[in-house]
Structure 1
């Protein structure tokens, strides 16, 4: 096992092994200086003197949250704060971080003590954040932003539902219609359930029973209003950004707590 003095010598001499070169190439980080790259993959459990790891990891975490928040905010400009917050949280969750780390093989290259109170998964996530921080530190905001867009934000599938955390959507739809001063929602009793405001059809849902069909119809009606997607959102961090008006979110959604139903 590599001891601390050897690791400190590696950082000061800045050599990269073949595996480390390969990781940098897979992640598109070849332009990082070897010293900064090693700062991000030598975990403090293996070398306590590497205090730069924590700072890079902190910076990477902050950059990740900032650019994910920006992307989701402008991708769904009508989405209220509570579902917006829940959606943003999904994209830098621990399992997502590990998926990205695993895709590149970070966990196979990071230097750590084999016996440690932190799991391999946690250390891989911390090292990935440190690599993102190193990218931000050396190559700037635009390069870091593009890496995050490519590896985190573009995971957003076409059929992703930002309101999936909410179960009692019927009451939210009623509040939405009251705000718009439209007639209350009425449901047609069939397995293919339609929801109407007066004669205007707001949405429809499909389910094996009436209760689920009503919920599905209400969910689809809300999605048509609040989950409008901007395919290529104009982001403030881009070079040619032009300010756009902030959308009125309308109904104040409750926090996804008791109503949370998972993925």
Structure 2
């Protein structure tokens, strides 16, 4: 056996920083294994250590001394039966370091926080080890920056369209797509041998209904006039539907309540993205850098808001808009046409309020072109954006004395 030189041994005891910031030495790791043994083995190990420390021991062999008091729990230790916390430290994961570099995170953002953001609550129930708390903070931050961005740039958006646009930016599927574009890979199953750079969560078994998935949809009432009844048990409509259930339906529904310790890849990935945003807020200087990160990775994505509209009676709604704003009643005028007596005619109709043209549409018939012109006029009103560009309220987060231009506040939705 080749003898270990003194310089080589000293290089092994160079301190390495762990999650809590304390140095980890080789002697500490070896002695911690002695401290976890049983009382009977500890007595025998103490006698062996005493014999090893006798003067007859060669001085060239270093002595491993047990700790005088029990060593604190390692930062990544867990008492759960799942044992998903990786044995490999985050600072030793190449995947985690590569992800840190791809996202352009500053050096103040530790790899340990990024590694914790990759552990879903379904894989590790301990709140001090999973990303549950971080994802809640990140959800608030994403909602704040997204809502102010939409309300300032499109002050006339209806409330339902505003919610749909926010879901398009920070919804579960949208954030899951962001996480996949970041290059995050998911582990097949959680465990302590998994690389810290992989997303860990308990996968849903094939064929599991969505309402049994944690974070999924619960008991839903059928749609009524293209609107979903809120899923609140104190809602009168929901209570009436629950009372009308048969005993068999009630038993089947209550046996399929959400809350199982399993989730889908999209839900786990979206929680990781929220937790990453929270880590930026906690480690990178507060709100200004967080705003920059959200705008660079989330709000820079293209979303066609005009495709979110779905009008039931556009001509009537346009008439109500003109009455509310004091405009003249809209009038549809035929501007151009071709092939009236052919199999494929095309009509171009414009909607005017006095001498001002509100919108234009084309179709294969006059009623169709008129409806499309009314829809174009309504979209032009709802998608109005200030030309100069008002300042976002978060502009004054870093410096309250900065000049601020207030945004436009609309009178509200058009009631048809």
Q: CA deviation at 1:166?
A: 3.0
C-alpha spacing 1:201/1:69, structure 2 compared with 1 (3 Å):
same
Structure 2 residue aligned with 1:173, among 318, 327, 333? Answer: 318
- Normalised to the residue count of structure 1, the TM-score between the two structures is 0.82
The structure with the larger Rg is 2
Tell me whether 129-138 or 188-197 shows the greater mean CA deviation.
188-197
CA contact (8 A) 2:139 2:274 kept: yes
Q: Residue in 1 aligned with 2:66?
A: none
Structure 2 unaligned runs (5+)? 1-80, 187-197, 205-260, 338-346, 397-401
C-alpha root-mean-square deviation of aligned residues, in Å? 2.7
Aligned partners of 1:154, 1:241: CA distance in 2, in Å?
25
Paired residue secondary structure (1:25): helix
Q: Does 1:26 align with 2:77?
A: no
How many residue pairs were aligned?
A: 249
Q: Conserved in 2, the CA contact under 8 Å of 1:204 and 1:220? A: yes
| Aligned mate of 1:149, from 295, 314, 320 | 295
| 2:225 aligned with 1:136 | no
Q: Going by fraction, where is helix more abundant, 1 or 2? A: 1
Alignment of 1:30-69 (within 5 A): 30-31=106-107, 32-51=109-128, 52-69=130-147
State how far apart, in whole Å, the 1-side matches of 2:311 and 2:361 are: 16
Q: Is the 8 A contact 1:107 1:123 kept in 2?
A: no
1:85 maps to 163
Runs of 4+ in 1 over 6 A off after TM superposition: none
Query: How far 1:176 moved relative to its partner?
Result: 0.8
- 1:234 has 2:323 as partner: no
Q: Which residue of 2 aligns with 1:118?
A: 263
Q: 2:321 and 2:112 mapped to 1: Cα distance?
A: 55
State the alpha-carbon separation in 2 of the partners of residues 55 and 149 from structure 1: 22
How many angstroms apart in 2 are the aligned matches of 1:253 and 1:151? Answer: 36
Gapped regions of structure 1 (runs ≥ 5): 255-263
Q: CA deviation at 1:34?
A: 1.9
